[in-house]
């Protein structure tokens, strides 16, 4: 399969620049994964799509305000640092602008010295390793000085940084939000639970590699980025119990999906408590071992995320759904509208 097979026309004005005031008021396109039937709703209607005994799986990662603006102590030149992942205590892999001006040994100051960092090495894709020094608690200082690292296609300033967090965000570590989860509120989740649906959480820290364009022509040649995940014993026990009872596993977002399928593949179709790094690449032809349905946003053309959602149904059905979304003026990408790839009404979960 070729990357170009997953291209589609998207008017630029449909790229959502700001979030809606009400998280649940976004549009919802429901796609039957077998028949390809499409219907249009509002996201709060998602409660009508669940069956008692289903399980909803969400990613509780919390986005770090990882964009830091500082100055080189030697020259006073402005430097922007984006934290990607912590490699050891107080050492972070970062992206730097302008990278060419940052050599090993360079000292950078943030917040008039409240936070300082020294470049201690180079990383992949032109990145740099920085060791930070400070007094107090690093994450509290980061909350004070950092800004949300919004995706490159969002050019509007975010007035309320919490709108780039899910309401259930808990585990710090992401460079980007698990955006399918942005549509949920505590009230909506309580309503879902009251209808007999189990709601559980896992953690996958989203890396900026999710926004990196594919640079190959053939899908088989693509090397997937790596992200850290954690799947708890409690979540595993609930999912396994739901499957044994014939319930369906509904994943919220491609990040939750990648975590569940990574662990299921690792343990020969079984789910077990686990943590580690995943670089799983899901595209058409993949056989899902865990999830039955998926709630997701609308993704970039020719992206690995479009390929993942196509694998759950088909490329043709997804591209047709995207055509319908464009025709009905759906909002795309991180702050955009949602799609539910629904298992057929009579489909029950398959024992893992």
pLDDT band for position 325 (50/70/90)?
very high
The Cα 104–Cα 130 span in angstroms is 9
Mean pLDDT, residues 175-201? 97
Q: What is the pLDDT of residues 238-267, one digit of tens each?
A: 999 999 999 999 999 999 999 999 999 999
Span(s) in the chain for CATH 2.40.10.240: 67-147
The Cα–Cα gap between 148 and 164 comes to 8
- Calculate the average pLDDT of the chain: 93
pLDDT bin (cut points 50, 70, 90) of residue 350 is: very low
Segment 113-127 mean pLDDT = 90
Mean pLDDT of 70-78: 94
3-state class (DSSP) for residue 126: helix
336: DSSP letter: S
Q: Check residue 214 and give its pLDDT.
A: 84
Instruction: Please name the residue that has the structure tokens 């998926």.
Output: 294
**pLDDT for the residue 150:** 86
Would you say domain 3-63+160-342 falls under CATH 3.40.1780.10? yes
Binned at pLDDT 50, 70 and 90, residue 345 comes out as: low
Query: Which numeric CATH code is attached to 67-147?
Result: 2.40.10.240
**Average pLDDT over every residue of 265-289:** 96
pLDDT at 27: 98
Residue 352 pLDDT: 34
349: pLDDT confidence band, cut at 50, 70 and 90?
very low
Neighbours of 347 (CB within 10 A): 15
Give start-end residues of each CATH 3.40.1780.10 domain in the chain: 3-63+160-342
Indicate the pTM of the whole model: 0.90
**Euclidean distance between CA atoms 80 and 95, whole angstroms:** 8
pLDDT tens across 23-66, in order?
A: 999 999 999 999 999 999 999 999 999 999 999 999 999 999 99
- More confidently predicted of 129 and 211: 129
Spatial separation of the C-alpha atoms in residues 214 and 44, rounded to whole Å: 34
Quick one: pLDDT band at residue 351, thresholds 50, 70, 90? Answer: very low
Q: Residue 299 phi/psi, 5° resolution? A: -105, 175
The pLDDT value recorded for residue 126 is 78
Q: Residue range 184-212: average pLDDT?
A: 92
Q: Is the dihedral of CA 249, 253, 254, 255 positive or negative?
A: negative
**Residue 102 reports pLDDT greater than 50:** yes
């Amino acid at each position: 399969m070729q990357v170009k097979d997953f291209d589609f026309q998207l008017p630029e004005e449909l790229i959502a620049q700001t979030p809606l005031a009400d998280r649940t008021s976004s549009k919802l396109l429901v796609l039957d994964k077998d028949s390809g039937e499409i219907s249009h709703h509002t996201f709060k209607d998602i409660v009508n799509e669940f069956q008692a005994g289903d399980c909803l799986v969400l990613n509780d990662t919390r986005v770090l305000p990882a964009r830091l603006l500082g100055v080189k102590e030697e020259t006073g030149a402005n430097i922007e640092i984006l934290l990607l992942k912590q490699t050891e205590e107080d050492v972070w892999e970062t992206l730097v602008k302008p990278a060419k001006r940052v050599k090993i040994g360079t000292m950078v100051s943030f917040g008039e010295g409240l936070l300082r960092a020294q470049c201690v090495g180079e990383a992949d894709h032109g990145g740099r390793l920085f060791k930070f020094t400070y007094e107090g608690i690093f994450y509290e200082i980061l909350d004070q000085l950092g800004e949300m690292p919004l995706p490159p296609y969002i050019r509007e300033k975010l007035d309320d940084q919490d709108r780039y967090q899910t309401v259930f965000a808990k585990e710090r570590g992401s460079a980007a939000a698990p955006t399918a989860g942005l549509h949920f509120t505590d009230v909506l989740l309580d309503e879902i639970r009251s209808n007999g649906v189990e709601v559980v959480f896992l953690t996958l820290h989203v890396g900026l590699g999710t926004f990196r364009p594919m640079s190959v022509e053939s899908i088989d040649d693509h090397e997937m980025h790596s992200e850290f995940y954690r799947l708890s014993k409690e979540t595993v026990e609930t999912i396994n119990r739901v499957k044994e009872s014939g319930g369906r596993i509904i994943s919220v977002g491609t990040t939750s999906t990648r975590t569940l399928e990574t662990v299921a593949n690792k343990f020969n179709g079984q789910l077990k408590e686990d943590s580690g790094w995943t670089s799983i690449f899901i595209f058409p032809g993949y056989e899902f071992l865990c999830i039955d349905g998926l709630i997701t946003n609308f993704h970039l053309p020719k992206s690995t995320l479009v390929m993942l959602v196509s694998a759950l149904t088909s490329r043709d059905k997804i591209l047709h759904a995207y055509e319908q979304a464009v025709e009905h003026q759906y909002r795309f990408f991180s702050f955009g509208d949602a799609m539910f790839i629904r298992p057929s009404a009579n489909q029950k979960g398959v024992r893992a």
